[in-house]
Amino acid sequence: MVVVDQFSKYATFIPAKKDCPAEEAARLFMKHVVKYWGVPTMIVSDRDPRFTGRFWTELFKLLGTSLNFSTSILKPTAKRRGSESTGKSPFEIVMGQQPSTSSTVASGYKGNSPAAYKLAKSRQEEADLAWSCLNRATKRMKKWADKKRRHVEYSVGDLVLVKLHNILRHKDVHKGLTRGYEGPFQVLQCVGNMSYKVELPKKLKLHPVFHVSMLKPFQEDKEDSSRAESSRAPIGAKATYDQDVKQVLADRVVRKRWCKPKHEYLIKWKGLPESEAS
């Protein structure tokens, strides 16, 4: 169970079982939240049966807490982390100061115990060494990544191919038998500096904004424009059938090792003989 303060975005993570009843959830809430921060004036939660049940609602009604529930369909809104909006960490907002680390303790120590200073100094050196290794690794990865990067810009109306085989995965089809890129699709809008919105067919239930690394320009064949066209639907497309189902003649369950069982049906179509069943 995760409890987040609305003002400071300070989060409290409470370990609980998946089938935790309302009574146990209330006990954990009292132990880990009310014990340290007091009774909240308002709680916003989802519509889980534990939070909408009589026990939870009556308990916090007696405590004077207002209960609000989120809607089933949330509108997309722009969200920012507390540190980005306030310029401070949640700990600093709640406690009024930043937590002291080993580096600040070691730099400000002027006592007479060499052993204590040695321990604090060693922790400071380990932290500095870790930061230097992380920075060196970041520069090394950026160096090798920049060798494969290419600066490409597209304009509204350009035709591009989109890399969809990593998104539209199909367990029964080997990746070597799927197309690496699908398209061409028209660029509708530039989103930010590195992403573009393309016009996808309605059969693909995907978000139409892609990073520039997943796009490549479509080179049209001027001699034969139909050469690049494909009548095969991309893997994962919601296909529709020209015929209506009349009757299910047979069904079976195909079981393979390390795979989930798959159901197959033999369909007789309206207006077609039984020999055309598929």
With H, G, I as helix, E, B as strand and everything else as coil, classify residue 36.
helix
Q: Are residues 131 and 169 in the same domain?
A: no
Residue 80 forms part of a structural domain = no
Q: Specify the residue for token string 């798959």.
A: 262
For residue 85, the model assigns a pLDDT of 65
Q: Are residues 167 and 214 in the same domain?
A: yes
pLDDT in tens, 79-90: 445 556 677 777
Residue 198 forms part of a structural domain = yes
With H, G, I as helix, E, B as strand and everything else as coil, classify residue 48.
coil
Q: Which of 125, 148, 171 is the last residue of a domain?
A: 148
Q: Are residues 9 and 30 in the same domain?
A: yes
Q: Which of 69, 84, 116 is the last residue of a domain?
A: 69
- Strands 209-211 and 215-217 turn out to be unpaired
Chain centroid to Cα 193, Å, comes to 21
In whole angstroms, what is the distance from residue 272 CA to residue 257 CA? 36
Residue 111 forms part of a structural domain = yes
Residue 76 forms part of a structural domain = no
Q: Which CATH number belongs to the domain containing residue 48 in this structure?
A: 3.30.420.10
Residue 240 forms part of a structural domain = no
Residue 32 forms part of a structural domain = yes
Residue 12 forms part of a structural domain = yes
Domain that holds residue 41: 2-69
Sign, CA dihedral 29-32-37-38, equals positive
Q: Are residues 180 and 213 in the same domain?
A: yes
For residue 172, the model assigns a pLDDT of 63
The amino acid at 32: H
Q: Are residues 134 and 164 in the same domain?
A: no
pLDDT in tens, 199-222: 887 777 777 888 888 888 888 777
What's the structural domain count of the chain? 4
Cα-Cα end-to-end distance for the chain: 49
Q: What integer is the mean pLDDT of 195-199?
A: 87
Q: Are residues 216 and 177 in the same domain?
A: yes
In whole angstroms, what is the distance from residue 16 CA to residue 14 CA? 6
Residue 124 forms part of a structural domain = yes
